Amino acid sequence: MVNTLKKSSQTQILSQPKTSEICPPSEYTLPDLAPRPALWKRITVGSLFWALGLGAATIGLTSIYYRLSHITIDSGIVNGRTVRVQSPINGTLEDFYGRPGAQIQAGQVLAKLEPLPQEGLDNQLNITRLRQKVEVAASNLKLAQQTLTMLTQQKSTLAQQDRQFQSAMVTIAADDIARYEAALDEAIANEEAANSTYQRHQMLLDEGAIAAQRVDELRAEWKVAQASVQAAQAALASARTTLAATQNSVPVQSSIDDLQEQQQTLQQRIQDQTVRVEQLRLDLENRQAELEELEVVYTQDSSVEITAPFTGVIHTTRHETGEEVSRPATLLTVLDCNDLWVETLVSIDQAHRIDVEKPVRVDFAGTTQTITGEVTLIEAMTTGKLTEARTEAILPAVSANLIGQPLARVRVNVPPTDSQFQAHQFCGLGQSARLTFATDF
């Protein structure tokens, strides 16, 4: 049976085809290997990938640094200066051209007022009263100017007295020095004489010619003379110090102190009177301007024209054509688009970090334009101040992350742009803005 297995295995081996029979050498080919790229190409590609990695790392680090060195606030609100245009007389609105959102030019007629029949008599009374007020204001100003002139003359006289007194003090101090120098010379002479007498008696004591008690007395007299010299030297030094101080106008005596106190008091009175004169001058100018305006308005027989005070946008209107208005009722408000700013609220910690010397990036909602502003106000806010500030400007609501924290109000002035006139009816007033502040990082 074993022989049978061997034969069968041999038969199987012999029956297997040869390699050359399966794949003839003439028909088999080796696959082509792609040539390796040149060295400079490999270096170029590697450098490119290295530069891309370095650029990505740089961008990441720059982004991190920017976030650490800037504060972004999304709750900014655009504000603007609004001015009320008031009626100068009691009358009826004959024409009213104002419409909210309309752009206007300085001097453009916004409304026409027809004076009421009784207005003429009232106007004359008003002009008479205002003329009397102008006369009183002019009289008060003249009196205040005279008082200021008198105080200025007193200051000049006091300054002259100060110079004379200072000169006298210098002379007295110089005389004191001469007297103290003479006293010092006398003290030195007495000291030398006492020393000579003491030395002579000391020699006699050594020879036994006199008693020791006498020598001790002379020695004591010599010591007293030495003390007198020292006292005279100190007095002379003090006199020289007094002279130097007096020459330099340094008060060294109570009389000089009193004189300088009078000068300071007089100077303060002059400053106060100068402020009063300026206030009275402004009051007189305002009353004169009001009188001129009334005289021009009330002497006209036709209707009174109300004109725009500056170029801007009509913000609100209060009346319509045909309505009666009383002076000084507000007819409309005008928005000055050249005086815009953004208000926001931040925490006190954020306010302390803001660098007010660096520009602020301002992004308006609804537009892709970015402009640069500057910080003009940072003010700590209490609850009372915040309520008061909301009556003066449009402030954002306190965000959730600021509730319970000390707050600060930040104002950023922004320049006017054409896109604001085009994109927003009221130059962006009340629109949201994003503020990015640089910090002291």
CATH code matching the domain that covers 66-82+335-438, chosen among 2.40.30.170, 2.170.16.10, 2.30.29.30, 3.30.70.100: 2.40.30.170
Lowest mean pLDDT: which of 25-29, 399-403, 417-421? Answer: 25-29
Evaluated on CA atoms 327, 329, 335, 340, the torsion sign reads positive
Lowest mean pLDDT: which of 66-70, 128-132, 280-284, 294-298? Answer: 294-298
**Most confidently modeled range among 284-298, 337-351, 359-373:** 337-351
Query: How far apart (Å, rounded) are the C-alpha atoms in residues 190 and 221?
Result: 10
Tell me: pLDDT of 42 over 80: no
Tell me: pLDDT of 333 over 60: yes
Query: How far apart (Å, rounded) are the C-alpha atoms in residues 96 and 110?
Result: 6
Q: Grade residue 164 by pLDDT with cuts at 50, 70 and 90.
A: low
370 forms beta bridges with: 363
Which residue blocks in 208-253 are alpha helix, DSSP H?
A: 212-247
Contact 80, 335 (CB under 8 A): yes
Q: Above pLDDT 90, what percent of the chain?
A: 7
DSSP 26: G
Segment 51-77 shows an average pLDDT of 76
Long-range contacts of 419-424 (CB under 8 A, 24+ apart): 419/367, 419/369, 420/337, 420/340, 420/364, 421/103, 421/337, 423/364, 423/366, 423/367, 424/366
Other CB atoms within a 10 A radius of the CB of residue 358 amount to 14
Contact 78, 429 (CB under 8 A): yes
Q: Grade residue 63 by pLDDT with cuts at 50, 70 and 90.
A: low
Segment 364-388 shows an average pLDDT of 86
Q: Grade residue 410 by pLDDT with cuts at 50, 70 and 90.
A: very high
Q: Where is pLDDT greater, at 255 or 67?
A: 67
pTM of the model: 0.48
Q: What does the pLDDT read at residue 273?
A: 85
List the domain boundaries for the chain: 66-82+335-438, 120-295
Segment 291-298 shows an average pLDDT of 70
Report the mean per-residue pLDDT for the chain.
78
Specify the CATH number of the domain 120-295. 1.10.287
DSSP states along 32-71 = PPPPPPPHHHHHHHHHHHHHHHHHHHHHHHHHHHHHHSEE
Element (H, E) at 291: helix 254-298
Evaluated on CA atoms 342, 347, 348, 354, the torsion sign reads negative
Q: What does the pLDDT read at residue 345?
A: 92
Tell me: pLDDT of 165 over 80: no
168-199, pLDDT tens digit by residue? 677 777 777 777 788 888 888 888 888 888 88
User: Residues in the chain, how many?
Assistant: 441
Query: How far apart (Å, rounded) are the C-alpha atoms in residues 108 and 94?
Result: 16
Tell me: pLDDT of 300 over 80: no
Query: How far apart (Å, rounded) are the C-alpha atoms in residues 79 and 317?
Result: 18
Segment 346-368 shows an average pLDDT of 88
CA-based radius of gyration for the chain? 50
Segment 24-29 shows an average pLDDT of 55
Tell me: pLDDT of 116 over 90: no
Q: What does the pLDDT read at residue 40?
A: 74
133-146, pLDDT tens digit by residue? 888 888 888 888 88
- Non-local (6+) Cβ contacts of 431 within 8 A are 77, 78, 364, 365, 366, 424
Q: What does the pLDDT read at residue 359?
A: 92
Q: What does the pLDDT read at residue 13?
A: 42
Query: How far apart (Å, rounded) are the C-alpha atoms in residues 297 and 55?
Result: 72
Q: Grade residue 120 by pLDDT with cuts at 50, 70 and 90.
A: low
Tell me: pLDDT of 395 over 80: yes
**Most confidently modeled range among 228-232, 293-297, 383-387:** 383-387
Tell me: pLDDT of 118 over 60: no
